[in-house]
Amino acid sequence: MKIVILDSYTCNPGDLSWSCLEQFGQVEIYPRTKKEDTVSRIGDAEIIVTNKTIIDRMIMDSCRHLKLICVSATGYNVIDVEAAKDFGILVCNTPAYSTDSVAQLIFAHILAFCNKVESHSSEVSKGLWSQQKDFCFWLTPQIELANKTIGFVGFGKIGQKAAEIASAFGMNILAYDLFRGNFCDQSFHQRFQYCSLEELLHQADFISLNCPLTEENKYMINTDSLTQMKPTAFLLNTSRGPLVNEADLAQALNNGTIAGAGLDVLGQEPPAPDNPLLLATNITITPHIAWASKEARQRLILLTRDNIEGYLHGKPIHVVNP
């Protein structure tokens, strides 16, 4: 049996191994695949693994041996799942592999605002501390998280994991979610409450977007929602870039409508050089790395192995087009 990995590089730039898939058959690995090369590289493969390479109806129609598409990501918008169903092709994703890593980056952005460790360290290295008349100095107000309020828009596994961290800091926790599931952990329960989106926007000192992108919530963060936030509030987005109207956010940051923003995702990735957020004030932007810890990527590969094994044993898991 032939397995083709179409774009291995982002998941595994060389610090991990795909060898766990070799037990299932011949494995062909491509770091990246251009659209025009997709059909020829899939060839007569029964199973493919893709991260961002688009697999549409035309490609499926041209690759009639294909039976399983493993998406090495949680989101599977690169796959035409309806076409896959028509062709009898199973599509499996890899859920929840990066929960801990994403929650950690949320707080990396929060703490970057609160303490400005990098800026202070840089100025110390330049000699600014040595020039002080007093034993200490600070460039920006130091913010304590205890008793601050963090609001989660979307309260699934990542939101709840970040809420556990927030609780450890002594923060109050608000959540807005259309689908209120069971808590993964009750440790933050005493400091937690569900609320409306309007209440969350008005009350939270930090607002973290942790919801999937839908047609209904596209650009949910815009001039109207930003003006409902406190002028001292910070916005975090580690979910999907198009949840945010980037021009509106840039204007809000430059005008002081809100205090800052920490983003790990943008509407276009890589961003266009003229993206207004690249020059906005009081913003930290990381290049979509919340998921990318070595530990999380190792889990992703192992989940891909599990998806293939389940398919071969007639018990497929993580199927998104049943």
Give the 3-state secondary structure of residue 262.
strand
Q: Is 305 a catalytic residue?
A: no
Active-site residue, selected from the candidate residues 41, 191, 202, 288: 288
Q: What is the DSSP string of 32-48?
A: ---GGGHHHHHTT-SEE
Q: Is 123 a catalytic residue?
A: no
Active-site residue, selected from the candidate residues 240, 297, 299, 318: 240
Give the 3-state secondary structure of residue 136.
coil
Active-site residue, selected from the candidate residues 22, 82, 198, 269: 269
CB neighbour class for 175 (10 Å; exposed up to 12, middle 13-18, buried from 19)? buried
Question: How many C-beta neighbours within 10 Å does residue 242 have?
Answer: 17
Residue 150, beta-bridge partner list: 173, 206
Structure tokens at 113: 């605002």
Q: Do residues 66 and 42 lie in contact, with contact meaning Cβ atoms separated by under 8 Å?
A: yes
Q: Is 41 a catalytic residue?
A: no
Question: How many C-beta neighbours within 10 Å does residue 260 have?
Answer: 20
Distance CA 92, CA 320 (A): 6
- One-letter amino acid at 259 equals A
Give the 3-state secondary structure of residue 267.
coil
Active site amino acids:
240, 269, 288
